[in-house]
């Protein structure tokens, strides 16, 4: 159904419909559209969240995030508006599109960022499939390349050295698929940061080894 009035004004009528028709789930698309206030303001964010929680059934409320600036990662984006939307929700899932997975299908990664009870599940792969007038959400396969995180160039250098143990810049380039010039730049950065040590030479090329092995999931970007 669609409504011309903001949810804050018709929440009692919606709650009555929920009871009359035994509705088990309401999808609100989106929080900003459903509200008559400014969701950047705490008082207005509280009003719409209280209206959602008063409907007497499970509510899936879709929210939006601001446009990315520069080279920011979509996984690190934050929701738009007041933090009270997060504070007053029971569960929050950040949905990030990974790409197309064939005709009529999208690959998504669901990041469970809040849950009032129980443990969070990070990087849940899922397929969003479209068939005629229906939409299906299916659990994805972690081994599907569509869901694999993409490493930054510097992390590829670190990963190559973790796999090789010791290597020259040319060996690292071969293992990582990066250009030698790119590898040299990141070797210099890592060396200045104290994460590499020079263990010898192979011809004119220095041989490098990791001093500190660190590759956190938070360093992955998509």
Domains and CATH numbers, the chain: 1-89 (no CATH), 92-148 (no CATH), 153-219 (1.10.10.10)
Model confidence at 220: pLDDT above 80 = no
- Cβ contacts of 109 within 8 Å, gap of 6 or more: 75, 95, 96, 98, 123, 124, 125, 126, 147, 222
- Where do the H-state alpha helices sit in the chain? 7-21, 31-34, 42-53, 84-87, 153-164, 169-176, 180-192
**pLDDT tens-digit profile of 15-26?**
999 999 999 999
135 pLDDT higher than 50: yes
Q: Burial, 122: exposed, middle or buried (Cβ in 10 Å; 0-12, 13-18, 19+)? A: exposed
Question: In the predicted model, what is the mean pLDDT of residues 85-113?
Answer: 84
Is the predicted pLDDT of residue 148 greater than 90, yes or no? Answer: no
pTM above 0.75, yes or no: no
């Amino acid at each position: 159904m669609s409504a011309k009035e903001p949810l804050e004004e018709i929440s009692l009528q919606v709650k009555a419909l929920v009871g009359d028709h035994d509705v088990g789930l309401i999808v609100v698309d989106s929080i900003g559209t459903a509200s008559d206030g400014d969701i950047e303001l705490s008082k207005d964010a509280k009003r719409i969240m209280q209206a959602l929680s008063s409907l007497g059934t499970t509510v899936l409320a879709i929210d939006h995030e601001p446009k990315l600036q520069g080279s920011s990662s979509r996984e690190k984006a934050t929701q738009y508006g007041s933090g009270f939307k997060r504070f007053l929700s029971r569960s929050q899932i950040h949905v990030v599109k990974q790409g197309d997975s064939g005709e009529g299908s999208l690959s998504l990664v669901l990041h469970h960022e809040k849950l009032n009870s129980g443990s969070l599940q990070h990087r849940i792969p899922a397929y969003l499939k479209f068939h005629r007038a229906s939409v299906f959400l299916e659990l994805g396969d972690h081994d599907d390349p569509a869901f694999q995180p993409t490493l930054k160039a510097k992390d590829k250098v670190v990963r190559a050295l973790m796999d090789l143990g010791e290597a020259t810049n040319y060996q690292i380039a071969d293992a990582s698929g990066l250009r030698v010039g790119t590898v040299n730049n990141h070797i210099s950065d890592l060396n200045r940061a104290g994460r590499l040590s020079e263990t010898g030479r192979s011809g004119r090329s220095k041989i490098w080894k990791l001093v500190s092995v660190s590759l956190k999931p938070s360093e992955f970007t998509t």
